[in-house]
Amino acid sequence: MEQLKVLYEDNHLIAVWKDAGVLTQSDRSGIQSLFDKVKIYLKEKYKKPGNIFLGLLHRLDRPVAGIILFAKTSKGASRLSEQFRERTLSKKYYAVVEGSFFQKNGALVHMIEKRETMNGGQRAKIMKNRGDRAELSYETIRSSKDRSLLRINLKTGKFHQIRAQLSAEGHPIINDIKYGGHQAPQFPEDAVALAACELSFTTATDNKYISLRRPYPKEWDTIV
């Protein structure tokens, strides 16, 4: 098993890095997920017999890399689930998109619905007069004629929100074929140029503020 990239751990929580192409949670494919790997890590580290508790607090799409936070206890699950519901924690993403973003800062607001696709999958559809409100703000880190690197502050947590909103504005994420992006040779088929690189939260019991940061994948610098 590939070594788990642990970014933070206490008695109630564990944060790890998910590479693009890895499932957050197992599906019908039977492929080992990040959730499975974390359970194995905890079982071996603490030499626990039988099944162990692990709470899934949030997810990232399979082609998206980033920081994932899990709960090791029911108290951790309860306290952090409340922070996710109330949006009192902070999640920031980096993305490489098609086209120029010469505006330094901006915001996107859309109405969005989750739809079934013909092949049995799901995708987000931008709507005019119905759906759930999806909102994000962005900062342009750098921009060229063809591509731009953005830092994104996610203000709502809707399904495929960032991917759908950027595509709707004519700036699909690089390698995100599902939402109109073009393939880049630097990326495997199961990866898109979107990564959740910053996560800040309050710990479950001692109210300590934790801010985690990881750099976006280094190969992005070759395409923007």
CA distances from 41 to 2, 55, 96, 142 (A): 11, 14, 32, 38
Q: Are strands 194-202 and 65-71 parallel, antiparallel or unpaired?
A: parallel
Question: Hey, what are 83's tokens?
Answer: 């922070």
What single-letter DSSP state applies at residue 99?
Answer: S
Question: Hey, what are 210's tokens?
Answer: 């934790």
Find out if CATH 1.10.3720.10 is the number for domain 6-222. no
The C-alpha atoms of residue 136 and residue 108 are separated, in whole angstroms, by 5
The C-alpha atoms of residue 26 and residue 184 are separated, in whole angstroms, by 27
Question: Is-contact 153 133, C-beta < 8 A?
Answer: no
Burial of 170 (0-12, 13-18, 19+ CB in 10 A): exposed
Q: Which entry of 61, 146, 176, 206 is annotated as an active-site residue? A: 61
The C-alpha atoms of residue 25 and residue 149 are separated, in whole angstroms, by 28
61 part of the active site? yes
- Whole-prediction pTM: 0.92
What are the pLDDT tens digits along the chain (224 aa)?
Answer: 468 999 999 999 999 999 999 999 987 777 899 999 999 999 999 998 888 999 999 999 999 999 999 999 999 999 999 999 999 999 999 999 999 987 789 999 999 999 887 776 889 999 988 999 999 999 999 998 899 999 999 999 899 999 999 999 999 999 999 999 999 888 888 899 999 999 999 999 999 999 999 999 988 988 88
The C-alpha atoms of residue 4 and residue 16 are separated, in whole angstroms, by 7
Segment holding 195, helix H or strand E:
strand 194-202
Domain ranges of the chain: 6-222
Question: Is-contact 213 15, C-beta < 8 A?
Answer: no
CA distances from 165 to 33, 126, 198, 211 (A): 27, 7, 20, 26
